[in-house]
Amino acid sequence: MVETYDADVVVVGAGLAGLACARALADAGREVVVLEARDRVGGRVWNGTLSDGRTVVELGGQWIGPTQRRVNALVAELGLETFPTFGEGEHLIELGDRRARYRGARPPLPPWVLADLGRAQLRFDRLARQVPLEAPWAADRAEAWDSVTFETWIRRNVATSGARELMRIYAEAVLAVEPRDCSLLHALFYTASGGGIDALTATRRGAQQDRFVGGSELLARRLAERLGDRVRTGVVVRRIGQRERPGGDGEVRVEADGFVARGRDVVVAVPPTLAGRLEYDPPLPPRRDQLTQRIPAGSVIKCHVAYDEPFWRDDGLTGQAVTDRGPVKITFDNSPPSGRPGVLLAFLEGDHARELGAWPAPDRQAVVVEALARLFGRRAARPEEVVELDWSAERFTRGCYGAHLAPGVWTRYGPALRAPVGRIHWAGAETAAVHSGYMDGAITSGERAAAEILAAR
């Protein structure tokens, strides 16, 4: 038996984009239903727990920064609390044969490396500010920037090996890709969208400044609670059809296993690579369909390594480390607000995520722990447990943090990213102009899609 649901708008995906869209439509008096394939809401924000059943570790997106105004406003409105990422003490850097502890934003590297890095960052940020966020393909130098990779720019503009490695780590840490995987135009757009390199990489006054008390998934849960039974989980959408009738009337038909939803419009609020796997009737226009074939997600495995206490704090360390040795290149202190137990967060990104994702979990985790022991000492070699998630293996995500565009994609297919196709509208963090790929961008993308529908009908 097939259940049928009639609404004004059908939203596919109950991540932050889909929930924010549905909320805006419901507040405007529209009847809406949200269809989510998973048995939970939140999409790429997802709370896990340690074996004690109490300590929350965010398996997906977890940080918000002070410039992300929409998500901060929503946090206040929904009565959620945040706390600062731990940053008291000294950071670690390991670059080439040099290892050092330091405070502040600039590591103690040789002056010629720091000067080279400073020049490169200044120039890159200056170029990024020239990219129109609503239309990156319209930048004056879009064709030239979209014809080369970010790696090409690094090789041509960064002279020292140390500064080159740090720019490559920036690509991995922020985009979850190797710089050879994305176009220069995309790297510039993403950097401009987030407010510049410093804003994207910093903790204090940056994108990693604050965490959620109780985990970031609470944001999605609170939104879903306000929508009530309009949110349906465990509904795997397979097909979207749309029909127009004389006089401008028409409908969409969204088909899932054992479920059909009908409405006047549909919002597809899932990652582009998943949107491309749905069946559409009539088929999508070639440019939109070709876009979804060219916009893959990044590769990242997020590893939480738990200890009885955050011993690195006693050593005067923040838990934040940057290294070019791999496979772990970035770490953070991800302990709960109480500080107990201690949790080190280690990222496997880009090539390392792809390679180690094929390993058995115990072997992969042993390599991660070995890397932490090299950075933080012998006590790091004896964790109580490791909790990890390979986002590339997630059936209803297929990669994180967001999508990236290879050379030629922005300039040839970019206009199709947000443009509605008849009664089909697109949302999701990748479609955001500001804070693209972040929770803030996901929320604003959903609200933008809702505004499109309200303005049209």
pLDDT (mean) for 119-130: 98
Residues 304 and 361 in one domain: yes
The predicted pLDDT at position 156 comes to: 98
Letter for the amino acid at 172? Answer: E
State residue 34 phi and psi, 5-degree precision: -115, 125
- Domain with 437 in it: 3-44+217-284+421-456
Mind listing the pLDDT tens digit for each residue in 385-413? Answer: 999 999 999 999 999 999 999 999 999 99
For the segment 163-196, what is each residue's pLDDT rounded down to a tens digit?
Answer: 999 999 999 999 999 999 999 999 999 999 999 9
Asked if residue 177 and residue 245 are part of one domain, the reply reads no
| Phi then psi dihedrals of residue 270, to 5 deg | -130, 160
Is the CB of residue 117 less than 8 Å from the CB of residue 165?
no
Q: How confident is the model at residue 250 (pLDDT cuts 50, 70, 90)?
A: very high
Which pLDDT does position 299 carry in this prediction? Answer: 97
Whole-angstrom distance, CA of residue 411 vs CA of residue 293: 15
Q: How far apart are CA 174 and CA 329, in angstroms?
A: 12
Residue 16 lies in a domain: yes
Residues facing 9 on adjacent strands: 32, 265
pLDDT(248) > 90: no
Q: What CATH number did the domain enclosing 379 receive?
A: 3.90.660.10
Torsions phi, psi of 304, nearest 5? -100, 120
Cα 392 from Cα 35, distance rounded (Å): 22
Q: Which of 367, 225, 257, 253 is nearest to 303 (CA)?
A: 367
**What's the pLDDT band for 249 if we cut at 50, 70, 90?**
confident
Q: Which of 135, 168, 201 is the last residue of a domain?
A: 201
Would you list the DSSP string of 122-162? Answer: HHHHHHHTTS-TT-GGGSTTHHHHTTSBHHHHHHHH--SHH
**Residue 247, pLDDT above cutoff 80:** no
- Residue 374 and residue 228 share a domain: no
Mean pLDDT over residues 321-332, rounded? 96
Q: Is residue 412 part of a domain?
A: no
> Helix or strand or coil: residue 425?
strand
pLDDT in tens, 276-323: 999 999 999 999 999 999 999 999 999 999 999 999 999 999 999 999
> What pLDDT is stored for residue 169 in this prediction?
98
Residue that terminates a domain, selected from 172, 201, 230 = 201
* Same domain flag for 196 and 267: no
Give the chain's domain count: 3
Residue 205: predicted pLDDT = 95
Q: Which of 271, 231, 262 is nearest to 10 (CA)?
A: 262
Residues 145 and 186 in one domain: yes
Same domain (yes/no): 40, 62: no
Sorting pLDDT into bands at 50, 70 and 90, what band is 198? Answer: very high
- Flag whether 345 is in a domain: yes
12 and 58 housed in the same domain: no
> Which residues lie closer than 8 Å to 396 by C-beta, 6 or more apart?
37, 38, 43, 270, 274
In this model, does residue 245 exceed pLDDT 90?
A: no
CATH, residue 17: 3.50.50.60
- The mean predicted confidence, pLDDT, of the chain is 97
Dihedral of CA atoms 230, 426, 437, 239 in degrees, nearest 10, equals: 70
The domain boundary residue, chosen from 376, 393, 410: 393
Bridge-based pairing of strands 259-263 and 3-6 is parallel
**pLDDT score of 331:** 98
33 and 57 part of one domain: no
| 98 in a structural domain | no
Q: How do beta strands 300-307 and 259-263 pair?
A: unpaired
Each residue's pLDDT tens digit, 358-389? 999 999 999 999 999 999 999 999 999 999 99
Please report which confidence band the pLDDT of residue 105 belongs to, taking 50, 70 and 90 as the band edges: confident
Closest by CA to 333, choosing from 349, 364, 308, 312, is 312
Reported confidence tier of residue 414, pLDDT bands at 50, 70, 90:
very high
Percent of the chain with pLDDT over 90: 97
The count of other CB atoms within 10 Å of the CB of residue 104 is 9
How many CB atoms sit inside 10 A of residue 265's CB? 28
Please state the rounded mean pLDDT for residues 254-264. Answer: 96
| 38 and 51 share one domain | no
The pLDDT of residue 454 is 98
Give the dihedral sign, CA 417/427/43/263. Answer: negative
Nearest in space to 344 (alpha carbons), one of 96, 92, 82, 64: 92
Give the three-class secondary structure for 339.
coil
Residue 9: closest CA among 242, 221, 223: 242
Instruction: Flag whether 368 is in a domain.
Output: yes
How far is Cα 102 from Cα 118, in angstroms, rounded to an integer? Answer: 17
- 303 & 377 share domain: yes
Pseudo-torsion of CA 289, 293, 294, 297, nearest 10°?
120
Helix (H, G, I), strand (E, B) or coil at 385: strand
Q: For residue 12, tell me if it sits in a domain.
A: yes
Query: Are both 224 and 151 inside the same structural domain?
Result: no
pLDDT band at 357 (very low <50, low <70, confident <90, very high): very high
Using a pLDDT cut of 70, give the percent of the chain over it. Answer: 100
**Residue 246 confidence (pLDDT):** 80
Same domain, residue pair 246 and 195: no
- The reply to whether 101 falls in a domain is no
Q: How far apart are CA 400 and CA 177, in angstroms?
A: 10
**Which secondary-structure segment (H or E) carries 373?**
helix 361-376
Residue 353 lies in a domain: yes
